[in-house]
Structure 1
């Protein structure tokens, strides 16, 4: 049963004309990196709610959500119009199983994301638990244009601080300023991702977490399965953990 509480907007950061980060202070119950909650606003006589992943680390009391403003969306345009000090409803109980404790320990962890689905991975990267379980961590972020690569300061800082961290932007509709050109499925299939960071992924030493739109998740999973990787299930641990993200 939903338990809604009031949160207060602390800040809004605009990355592009459509992409923004909403920071909300609220007494949400403890969550694990990778989980999500729901935000809601009263629009007319209805309360409109949507699920958003936490982007902040679990220890941070200011909760952060990475949002794309959808032109005819019911909730994202009203969220985009909020100002510091405004109130927003937030579901107090976190949800979801796209978390590190669902993934077997391994030598390598590959995080594959598109668009705002990078959000759960940003939360994990800010959580010390991540760095204790894997020798090599690779974050892959697929976007259409270079301008869509948000959170650059955080990711560049992590690259400088963590010798075992690789960040690979994948840009599909223009020449990338950094990273590789194409779609994640293409650069994964032709080995360009592995070449870029100097790693080779195998079922014996690699885990994949995939977060993106349903078609991306499906296509990437099929590519990995063709290479011998298996879906990770509690009853039968494998190598691929997925979250569909709209």
Structure 2
């Protein structure tokens, strides 16, 4: 059964009007595996309201980091959007989830494909040494609607510079043209070969793919990857595609 601890908001960083990073200090060390999630909770007059969010920070970082998109008609994210430094928030423990690299079989390349806030678990993974030790080539693909939704750009570019020739970053923007970004949806970019061409690599039997984000993207991407001979990864039957349904 989940336990709750009270954390303090250190920063609420706005990437744009709707997308923000909530950074929280908790009173004791918080152990987790990169890729896992917790629940954040706030008390109303009647009850605690809560929702699951992946940890964006690395396991060695004492400040917990959560990437959140405000849903205007939602019960919870607008409340998070309004939090400011010094205010309290509850964090569940222990962390949960199996969307972690120790669930991913061996391969030559690792494709980390996300839409929106689904990039969070990958950022946590990339703070660790694990992906760089296990895979010769790592491709981080982040698909968003607008260029302003491409969060953590400088951190990602710093990692790319620190791992030349090994870590590659490919933004995808669906609703406007953006410098350096592909335009369109992930499944279509896989079908027409544009994603592979942009990254100079092949989605073949030596590739391991992780999908996190919009369920429509995951459903369609799983199908086009299966058509390319990359089946879903299951514990009872290892494959090439590991999935996290992010909402």
Report the TM-score range of the alignment, normalised by the length of the smaller protein: over 0.9
1:175 counterpart residue number: 177
Q: Per-residue CA shift, 1:99-148, capped at 9, x if unaligned?
A: 00000121100011000011001101111112110000001111111111
Is 1:75 the equivalent of 2:80? no
| SS state at 2:223 partner | helix
What RMSD, in angstroms, separates the aligned Cα atoms of the two structures?
A: 1.0
Separation of aligned partners in 2, 1:48 and 1:74: 8
The 5 A counterparts of 1:1-246 are 1-26=1-26, 27=28, 29-163=30-164, 164-203=166-205, 205-246=206-247
Whole-angstrom CA distance in 2 between matches of 1:2 and 1:65: 19
Question: For residues 179 and 107 of structure 1, what CA distance do their matches in structure 2 show?
Answer: 24
CA distance in 2, matches of 1:108, 1:207: 6
Q: CA deviation at 1:8?
A: 0.7
Distance 2:150 2:233 in 1: 29
Q: Determine helix, strand or coil for the equivalent of 1:243.
A: strand
Matched position secondary structure for 1:52: strand
- Please give the alpha-carbon distance, in whole angstroms, between the structure 1 residues aligned to 2:30 and 2:238: 29
Does the 8 Å CA contact 1:55/1:65 hold for their aligned counterparts? yes
- Taking the aligned partners of 1:105 and 1:178, their CA distance within structure 2 comes to 30
Aligned equivalents of 1:28, 1:183: Cα separation in 2: 39
Query: CA shift at 1:33, angstroms?
Result: 0.5
TM-score by length of 1: 0.97
SS state at 1:207 partner: strand
Unaligned 5+ runs, structure 2:
none
For residues 73 and 127 of structure 1, the distance between their equivalents in structure 2, rounded to whole angstroms, comes to 33
The answer (yes or no) to whether the contact 1:10–1:25 under 8 Å persists in 2 is yes
CA contact (8 A) 1:146 1:177 kept: no
Would you say the 8 A contact 2:30–2:62 is kept in 1?
A: no
**After TM superposition, what 4+ stretches of structure 1 lie above 2 angstroms from structure 2?**
none
Q: Would the aligned equivalents of 1:13 and 1:20 in 2 still touch at CA under 8 Å?
A: yes
Question: How many residue pairs end up in the alignment?
Answer: 245
- 1:13 CA displacement: 0.7
TM, length-normalised to structure 2: 0.97
Q: Which runs of 5+ in 1 are unaligned?
A: none
